Amino acid sequence: MREQRKGSGLPADSLSALNRKVVVCRRCPRLVRYRESLEPRRAFYGQEYWRRPVPGFGDPMADIVIVGLAPAAHGGERTGRVFTGDESARFLFRSLYDAGLSSKPTSESREDGLTLKGCYITAAVKCAPPENKPTRQEFENCGVFLDEEFRILAHAKAIVALGRMAFDAVIRWAERQKVDTSKAVFAHGASYSLSGIPKVYACYHPSPRNTYTGTLTRKMMTDVFLKVVLECRGGGPSHSRPRHLGSRGG
């Protein structure tokens, strides 16, 4: 199984070629109409929105792959980089930084100089969906890109799914690899060692709905990533942790 995930050529080149295909995709008419109709919020007045499919980004030799649901209408679809420029991004990247996986605690634009450390971030669906609810067909259409990303990212030891829908997309990918996923059920902090693929971890999505209500705190999310780093690399973050991690998100 591991051998089947290896591709030819350098991972960076293969990902660049794949992402060139991603950004011109028009397979889902509903998503195309929605992304192209987006108008800037008052806070972003005058900014030119990306309004295209949003590719993954990060370290081509990553041992940790993070999968979200889809780019946000005024985050990734505005900035052109997944988990960038919105509240979910700010929450996520604080935890990634605390776990030693990001060079910065914020993700604001494609030109902000941020780099990921042994980590790659992508989304199960590459376009922002209305009401954050992709259809099953839209998941399937984008599944070909997710399949290819996992094939190229052959050094991955862990996959972190953010939210139930992203987790389900990862499980459907595993099933396409003929992996038995019968014991894999979404629960925050759960992890599953499935034969032939990287270990799968589940985490609540850092959406404002989860973080404002305390369903997901910053400590809860950071602890997931610290666990992943420990199990993948046998150690903690490469820089010292902050002096305190609040019990609630923010």
Residue ranges of domains in the chain: 3-233
Residue 238 has pLDDT above 70, yes or no: no
Percent residues over pLDDT 70 in the chain: 90
CA distance 179 to 211: 33
Taking all residues of the chain, what is their mean pLDDT, rounded to a whole number? 92
Superfamily of domain 3-233: Uracil-DNA glycosylase-like domain (3.40.470.10)
CA distance 84 to 107: 5
Higher pLDDT, 49 or 10: 49
Percent residues over pLDDT 90 in the chain: 89
Place of tokens 């709905």: 209
pLDDT digits (tens, 9 = 90+) for 203-231: 999 999 999 999 999 999 999 999 999 99
Buried/exposed 164-203: b ≥16 CB within 10 Å, e otherwise: bbbbbbbbbbbeebebebeebebebeebbebeebbbbbbb
Query: In this structure, what token pair is assigned to residue 160?
Result: 């972190």
Q: How many CB atoms lie within 10 A of CB 16?
A: 12
Averaged pLDDT, 162-185 = 98
Side chain identity at residue 131, one-letter code: E
Residue closest to 54 by CA, chosen among 121, 108, 103:
121
CA distance 192 to 24: 34
Residue 17 has pLDDT above 50, yes or no: yes
